[in-house]
Structures are given as structure tokens and as C-alpha cells.
A and B are shown apart, each in its own frame.
Chain A
């Protein structure tokens, strides 16, 4: 049955009105209460009691409400690849499609690194101490140590998967700057590359009583033509305990000397164990 145009217009307007009302409500709750008065600022029993109430509390368990396959620019635009990065990204996609994926540190039970771990779909646990904020990430039992005293890295610092992080509070926002990343990881699983020159700046804050948001900016002039920003979200999960995650138990996609992945072969603890048991059998 056909309806007059204004009728459809009214329906669309209603939809838009209610939807935007919801968004408005969302942004209205964007200013969380300060201090430790109210669980809405974190779990008061899960951070060091020496921390003053004036420091926002984000301690406790959080489950990710984002996925890591792709870390996309928040503005919806394309990733601002430099030419080499665009070529790499396309080559990687083609290789994956052809069933001969490129090596990835994950294939050898090595960490995804920062920034990729910022958007993995695994739960996290935050512990605040007077000088550190420690973020445990369930996948591959990683933990990031954020130095809250602005101490520079030691002179003999070696670039690493998670890098060297310094943090400070700007109002209700934890601002974390990470440098010292190694050259062996990518931005995301899909294969946006990065160099060791990347600086990652995270802005972590509560956007609702149960929600933590991490808006992070990637600045890597050797890979991207301009800094770009992405976002991940976490929901408060007070009863969740991070589970044991042991990649090495089934480290079976190890690449060979040419870097080619050997699916289901080698390095598998369970296979070694079976072989040993077999050898010992009468």
C-alpha cells in the first residue's frame, strides 16, 4: 500500500529524532563524576590505597567491546599510507587471499604489540599504583607498564613489542604516550604496517559509568602521511577474572627458515609429548 510522501517523511523524522536523542543522552553522560566517590569511577577495592582520591579510578576488569581485525581511522577516511605502506597492505591482502599469508609475530606466539593490542577483543585488567598504571591483556598474558612519574626510559632501553609508556592525568583523561616500539609488528591484523618510529598517544577516559574509551593517535611519518586516530571501548566487568592464555601450548604455525608458515606442524608441545610417549612405549 502506498503512503503519501509526507507520511514517510514523518516516519524518517521520528526515527532521526529518537536516534539523535539517544546520542545526545550518550554525550550528556560523557562527563563522569570525579574522584573515588562512586563505583562509576572504577573499583575502589582494586587499586593501591595510597593513591589519593583525586586521581580518577579506572582499576578493575574490563571486557573489550571492539575487535582487532581492523584498526580504521575514526574519521572514516582511508588509512593515509605512504606508497610503500599501500603496496605492502595490498600485497599482504593478496597473499592472504591466495592462502599463503605473510609472517605475523602472532604466528610464533610473539606479541601483537602496541598499537594492535589496544583494540584486541580480549578482556583487560587495570591496576593503579602510586607510580604505575599496569594494564594486563588476556591475550598471550601481556602486561603494559605505564610510568606515571614521567621517568624516561633507561639508557640501555631496547625497542620492544609494547614499547615504553609514560602517562599522566589531564582531568578525567589518562594520557599515555608510547615510543620505543620495535620494527616487527603491525598496526592491526589486516596488515596496516608501522615502523619503529611510531609514537602512539592514547586518551583513556570513562564515557559512561560502565564504559571506558581509548582514543589513540598513531604518528609514524615513515609509514603514514599524517597522524591518524582510532578508538576502542571496554565495558566494566567487576566479576571477570582474566583467564590463562598460553599460546605456546599449541605453537604450531611456526614459520620455517624462509618465513613460510607451516600450518599444524612443528613446535607443538603436545606433538612432542606424544612422540616422547610413543618412543618410550614398549
Chain B
């Protein structure tokens, strides 16, 4: 059969379809998808309208934004009355073991393995904490082991079954001039202090942050954990404002777990130009 010398309509159609498909794929690869979606502008406008009220409200709030440091760094926690928290029998047993182990030089404090302290233990580090404040989110950036806590201002946590994690899930809201933060969903592994106050996965931490004056921030922390504490108990930490341009150097806890010193790669840095195996 002699090939026809015309281009059949179906071939053109197929080519056009293929071309359109690859154009869309090109879009996706090129990272510009959605940019011309009709709903985008409407969505933007809705988000913006919603944000306007939050922005205006935030302008009137106290500014807790800045760099802060605990005035009295501590490794052990006492209640606001200066007492040991009201431990249950199970907690007391764990606590005694941990105190004995540490005395014997055999502590299993997760902090020693560079695991994150979580709230409230991180608050007492005594190292600078950069707090950023936006209408929908407050973030705490710690110099201490570069810990980060993003607190979305979405009201109390709504998680029915939170994924258990070291630092818990924080959610907050403004109650007048007080920033309330609730945190839950801890994995129950961390200690609340170096002595060994325990936590269980049921622990809930409720914080109230308020400015006592422009340069003094107070965080009243209430811990509720029925498995280990007879009743909720409160403790308090006070922060002083540091200059806004305070430099926060990087702090890598895991360097201390290395069994050999880090080696430079480049000859210009004194390295061999070869890697270690």
C-alpha cells in the first residue's frame, strides 16, 4: 500500500493533544503551576481580608518580640512555693532511681544524648531566646541547641490523638495582654529537670506569658499530669530583655557525642583533600 501524502486529521489532533499535555507537564516542572488558576485571586483576597483584622489586633498588643534570657537559670524545678512538685508514688519511685543513678555517675537523662528538653525544661537554659511575634504565630528560637517552637495562635490545641513527640504540640492565643500557650502530645520520655521529675504522655503544659514591664517577661507554667502528679502544679520563670542585636551563635550538642574530632576537607583549611572512611 502506498502511503498517503497528506497528514491525517487524527495525527494532527494527537500531536496537538500531546503538545498540550507536555505543555502542562512543562508548567509543573517549571514550577509555575497554579499561577493562573482563576480561584487564586479570590483565595488571596479572602486570606488577606481575614488577616487584616488579626494585623490590627496585633498592633495593639504588648510586644513580646525580642531576645530574652532567664534571670535565674536552673537545672532543677521547684513550684512557685519553692517546693518539690506533688509527685504520685509512681513518680517518686522513678525520681529516687534517677537521683541515685546520677549520684552513681550512671544517669540516663535524655538531655545528655542531645535529645530536646521540651517545655518547660528548655525555658531555664539561661541562654538567649529570640521570640518573634506575628498576628497568627509566635515563635521561640533558642540559642540553646537551636531548639525551635512554632506556636500557631489558633486557640487551645484541638488534636484528639496527637502524635507523641519530644517537644509536644503547642498552640496559643491572646487573653487580653497575656499570651496563653498550651502544649500536649509529649512522648513521655523527657525529664522535666536534671534531677529527674518525670512526665507521662498525658502531660499538658499551660503557659501564661506577660510583660511585667517593657524589659521583663514572665512565664507562669502549669503542669498537669495525673499519672505522675497528684494535682496540677505551677512554676514560674522570669526573662530579661537583651539588646535586639544580640548575636546567637550556633550550638551543636551532637559535637560532644563525636568520638573523634571533625576534620576539614580542603587543603586550604589544613585538610588532606581526602575523606575519612
Residues of B within 8 Å of A131, CB to CB, are 244-245
Known A-B contacts A134-B130, A195-B266, A272-B108; the reply to A211 vs B32 at CB < 8 A is yes
Determine if A209 and B35 form an interchain contact, defined as CB atoms under 8 angstroms apart.
Answer: yes
Determine if B3 and A4 form an interchain contact, defined as CB atoms under 8 angstroms apart.
Answer: yes
The CA of A105 and the CA of B43, in the complex, are separated in Å by 42
Determine if B141 and A22 form an interchain contact, defined as CB atoms under 8 angstroms apart.
Answer: no
A and B contact pairs by CB, cutoff 8 A, 26 listed? A4-B7, A7-B7, A7-B8, A11-B18, A11-B19, A45-B135, A88-B274, A127-B139, A129-B132, A131-B244, A143-B146, A158-B249, A161-B250, A207-B31, A222-B266, A233-B31, A244-B166, A246-B166, A248-B113, A254-B257, A255-B258, A255-B276, A259-B277, A260-B276, A267-B113, A269-B113
B248 interface residue, CB < 8 Å from A? yes
Most buried by A among B31, B146, B253, B273: B31
Determine if B22 and A15 form an interchain contact, defined as CB atoms under 8 angstroms apart.
Answer: yes
The CA of A184 and the CA of B47, in the complex, are separated in Å by 43
Determine if B277 and A100 form an interchain contact, defined as CB atoms under 8 angstroms apart.
Answer: yes
Pick from B34, B141, B147: contact of A210, CB below 8 A. Answer: B34
Most buried by B among A45, A154, A161, A183: A45
Determine if B35 and A244 form an interchain contact, defined as CB atoms under 8 angstroms apart.
Answer: no
Tell me the number of A-to-B contacts counted with CB atoms below 8 Å.
292
Determine if B31 and A110 form an interchain contact, defined as CB atoms under 8 angstroms apart.
Answer: no
Determine if A238 and B245 form an interchain contact, defined as CB atoms under 8 angstroms apart.
Answer: no
Known A-B contacts A129-B132, A161-B250; the reply to A183 vs B166 at CB < 8 A is no
- What is the distance, in angstroms, from A164's C-beta to the closest C-beta of chain B? 9
- Chain B residues in the interface with A (C-beta under 8 A): 3-8, 11-12, 14-16, 18-20, 22-24, 26-27, 30-32, 34-36, 40, 43-45, 47-48, 50-52, 54-55, 58-59, 65, 108, 110, 113-116, 130, 132-137, 139, 141, 146-148, 150, 152, 165-167, 244-245, 247-250, 252-255, 257-260, 262-271, 273-277
Residues of B within 8 Å of A158, CB to CB, are 249
Residues of A within 8 Å of B135, CB to CB, are 44-46, 49
The CA of A46 and the CA of B132, in the complex, are separated in Å by 10
- What is the distance, in angstroms, from A104's C-beta to the closest C-beta of chain B? 9
Determine if B252 and A143 form an interchain contact, defined as CB atoms under 8 angstroms apart.
Answer: no
- What is the distance, in angstroms, from B236's C-beta to the closest C-beta of chain A? 26
Within 8 A of B (CB), among A175-213: 183-184, 186, 191, 193-197, 207-211, 213
